[in-house]
């Protein structure tokens, strides 16, 4: 029998590996189709291949039988590689862990016609099931993360005292929104070091087309095995968790990760276990007075709440979810999304660090780049492709739900109850970006006014038919109603100029 191990299925604790069975071959394929379904960041491809190679080597060391095809040896698709291996080993049964991605599942299912049987087992990674998710939300016009999250807290017992939440409240979100005080220094972070020279060489030899940059190949700083992932996490737990709660939404120039954990890549490739991570945070809360409930709950909510929730939403609505475009947005992404060369300081910082580090934290993704693309009416498919390629942690199940759903409101409010958009006020409140910007954050309609200001009001005017009755944004429309027709017109004029000249901003 062959057991296929995909690049995001590197779970060392999976029950597959409990016993060594000489009749089982574990198959890993670095392949062009997977490396090019989106314009991936070079660090993402390097990180995945490097982690796959180390995981395969560990299995071999434990006595398992392993087949590994590198990107310079393999055939283009997973199916072609599996077919060739199945023929050469004369096996008729291929077992796979449930893929996280709809496209890959369909591809694997289609192989059933090619002379062998594909069967699926659980990836033994997630804490919730799609069936329970669908049962909870079938027939609901919009999902409610909070009700899902409470169920998950009860089911996992995390931060619970009997049936009640620890700290007396389920959710401390309102205490997660401080901006960074002036002169506050975010301490240096811990980075593991992996020599990825050979992996990089192979990727270049195979001609994989990538975006972004990579530093010294001797010191690759994303985790590529479970030990490194745990080391990053433990360092963060000891040094950064106490600040995570307060500054979860804060942004600052030259601080590319703030107090965020940077474990999403390790989680999404399954190098570390999400429940274990949450249990460590809960322990820290109980044992260390400096870890407040808003830090512990704020972090745990992201994992047993948002992360599991997005997975449920993905499988409930795919493939249709990938076509949704509620506002019928159709503009192209500005060219500077691929270079970071724009005069808007917030966009320059966020896109710049995304190209350099394959990372931006949540509020940068939601309230800087996502905010801009929604206000500018960019086609959600263009936006998806950018997010799917650029981030080290980007896998469709968690990317598309966050991008098309939460950020672009392309599902008409199924995931998010209102669009996440803002003018420059919010950006200025939560960051120091505006102080160094060529645009004026205080004005709306002048030549140097921050583009966010006119785009924000213009967005609500353009979409009043679809948003005007939303009770969560009544205040916006009340303010708009008080504006004179002349000032609305001036805003629309400035917005229209911006929309027609996006590449020049
Ligand atoms: P931390 O802030 O330290 O949070 C801890 C963990 O919580 C993360 O590692 C992640 O696993 C989980 N988490 C936090 N927020 C979310 C969320 N909204 N949805 C799901 N899990 C969450 N996350 C991805 O893993 N892959 C993506 O492709 C992705 N694309 C996104 C696109 C957009 C437009 C937005 C707004 C968010 C996206 N996110 C994505 C969610 C979030 O931004 C990242 O999980 C987070 O920035 C990863 O950094 P971290 O590990 O330092 O997170
Ligand atoms: C993202 C990715 C990349 C870049 N390359 C590979 C690969 O060559 N081989 C592989 O098995 N997996 C790769 N992956 C991860 C897959 O795309 C991932 O398994 C699917 O997105 C399913 O979630």
Residue minimizing CA distance to atom 8 of ligand 2: 30
Q: Is 440 exposed, middle or buried (0-12, 13-18, 19+ CB in 10 A)?
A: middle
- Cβ atoms < 10 Å from Cβ of 73: 13
In which residue are the tokens 């811990």 written? 190
Among 271, 312, 362, which residue has the most ligand 1 atoms within 8 Å of its CB, making it the best to mutate? 362
Instruction: Tell me which H or E stretch contains 120.
Output: strand 117-121
104-113 pLDDT per residue, tens:
999 999 998 7
Q: Quick one: average pLDDT of 73-101?
A: 95
Hey, which residues does 93 pair with through a beta bridge? 117
Can you tell me which atom of ligand 2 is nearest the CA of 9?
A: 19
Q: What is the pLDDT of residues 141-181, one digit of tens each?
A: 888 899 999 999 999 999 999 999 999 999 988 777 788 88
| Longest pairwise C-alpha distance within the chain | 78
Q: Which atom of ligand 1 is nearest to the CA of 360?
A: 47
Cis-peptide, bond into residue 80, ω within 30° of zero: no
Question: Measured between alpha carbons, how far is 53 from 69 in angstroms, rounded to an integer?
Answer: 10
Residue nearest to atom 34 of ligand 1 (CA): 403
Question: Contact, 408 vs 399, CB < 8 A?
Answer: no
Compute the Cα dihedral for 481, 483, 489, 495 and give only its sign.
negative
Per-residue model confidence (pLDDT) at position 468: 94
Q: Within 13 Å of residue 106, how many CA atoms lie on the same side as its CB?
A: 6
Bridge partners, 27 (sequence order): 4, 67
Pocket of ligand 1 (CB under 6 A): 260-264, 267-268, 302-303, 306-307, 310, 361-362, 365-366, 370, 387, 391, 393-394, 398-399, 402-403, 406-407
Q: At what angle do helices 130-137 and 145-156 cross, to 10 degrees?
A: 130
pLDDT digits (tens, 9 = 90+) for 291-336: 999 999 999 999 999 999 999 999 999 999 999 999 999 999 999 9
Residue pLDDT, tens place only, 122-145: 999 999 999 999 999 998 888 889
Q: What is the DSSP string of 356-387?
A: HHS---HHHIIIIIIHHHHHTTB-HHHHHHHH
Ligand 2 atom at shortest distance from the alpha carbon of 7: 12
- pLDDT of 446 over the 80 cut: yes
Radius of gyration over every alpha carbon of the chain, rounded to an integer in angstroms: 23
pLDDT at 113: 79
- pLDDT attached to residue 114: 81
Distance CA 402, CA 416 (A): 9
484 alpha-carbon distance from chain centroid:
41
pLDDT score for 15: 98
- Cβ-based burial of 215 (10 A; exposed 0-12, middle 13-18, buried ≥19): exposed
Mean pLDDT of 479-493: 96
Average pLDDT over residues 241-246: 91
- Domains in the chain with CATH codes: 2-121 (3.40.50.620), 130-187+240-317 (1.25.40.80), 335-504 (1.10.579.10)
Residue 187: is its pLDDT beyond 90? Answer: no
Q: Looking at residues 55-67, what average pLDDT do you find?
A: 98
- 139's torsion region: left (phi>0), alpha (psi -120 to 50) or beta? left
Please choose from 8, 67, 203 the residue to mutate so as to test ligand 2's pocket, defined by most ligand atoms within 8 A of CB. Answer: 8
How remote is the CA of residue 318 from the centroid of ligand 1, in Å? 20
Burial class of 22 by CB neighbour count within 10 A (0 to 12, 13 to 18, 19+) = exposed
> Quick one: pLDDT at residue 182?
85
Residue nearest to atom 20 of ligand 2 (CA): 101
């Amino acid at each position: 029998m062959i057991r296929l191990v995909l690049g995001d299925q590197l779970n060392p604790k999976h029950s597959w590996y409990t016993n060594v069975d000489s009749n089982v071959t574990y198959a890993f394929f670095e392949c062009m189709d997977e490396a090019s379904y989106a314009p991936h960041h070079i660090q993402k491809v390097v990180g995945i291949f490097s982690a796959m190679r180390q995981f395969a080597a560990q299995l071999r060391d434990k006595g398992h039988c392993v087949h590994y095809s590198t990107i310079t040896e393999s055939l283009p698709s997973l199916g072609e590689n599996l077919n060739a291996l199945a023929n050469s080993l004369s096996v008729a049964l291929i077992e796979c862990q449930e893929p996280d991605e709809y496209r890959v599942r369909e591809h694997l299912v289609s192989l059933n016609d090619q002379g062998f049987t594909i069967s699926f087992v659980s990836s033994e990674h997630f804490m919730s099931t799609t069936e329970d998710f669908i049962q909870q939300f079938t027939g609901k016009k919009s999902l409610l993360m909070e009700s899902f999250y409470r169920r998950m807290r009860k089911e996992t017992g995390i931060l619970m005292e009997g049936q009640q939440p620890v700290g007396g409240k389920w959710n401390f979100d309102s205490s997660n929104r401080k901006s960074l005080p002036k002169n506050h220094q975010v301490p240096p972070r811990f980075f593991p070091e992996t020599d990825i020279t050979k992996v990089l060489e192979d990727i270049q030899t195979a001609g994989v087309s990538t975006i972004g940059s990579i530093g010294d190949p001797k010191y690759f700083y994303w985790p590529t095995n479970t030990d490194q992932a745990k080391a990053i996490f433990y360092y963060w737990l000891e040094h950064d968790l106490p600040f995570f709660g307060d500054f979860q939404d804060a942004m600052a120039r030259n601080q590319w990760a703030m107090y965020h954990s940077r474990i999403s890549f390790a989680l999404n490739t399954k190098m570390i276990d999400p429940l274990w991570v949450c249990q460590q945070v809960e322990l820290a809360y109980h044992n260390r007075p400096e870890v407040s409930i808003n830090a512990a709950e704020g972090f745990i909510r992201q994992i047993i709440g948002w992360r599991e929730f997005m997975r449920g939403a993905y499988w409930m609505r795919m493939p249709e979810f990938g076509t949704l475009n509620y506002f019928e947005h159709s503009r192209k992404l500005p060219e500077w999304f691929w270079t970071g060369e724009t005069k808007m300081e917030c966009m320059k910082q966020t896109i710049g660090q995304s190209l350099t580090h394959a990372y931006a934290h949540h509020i940068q993704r939601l309230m800087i780049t996502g905010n801009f693309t929604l206000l500018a009416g960019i086609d959600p498919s263009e936006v998806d492709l950018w997010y799917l390629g650029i981030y080290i942690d980007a896998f469709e199940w968690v990317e598309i739900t966050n991008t098309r759903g939460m950020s672009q409101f392309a599902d008409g409010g199924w995931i998010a109850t209102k669009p996440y958009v803002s003018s420059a006020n919010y950006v200025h409140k939560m960051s120091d970006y505006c102080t160094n910007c060529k645009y004026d954050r205080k004005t709306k309609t002048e030549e140097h006014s921050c583009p966010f200001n006119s785009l924000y009001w213009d967005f609500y005017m353009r979409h009043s038919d679809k948003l005007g009755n939303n009770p969560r944004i009544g205040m916006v429309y009340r303010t708009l109603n008080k504006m004179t027709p002349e000032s609305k017109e001036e805003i629309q004029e400035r917005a229209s100029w911006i929309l027609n000249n996006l590449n020049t901003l």
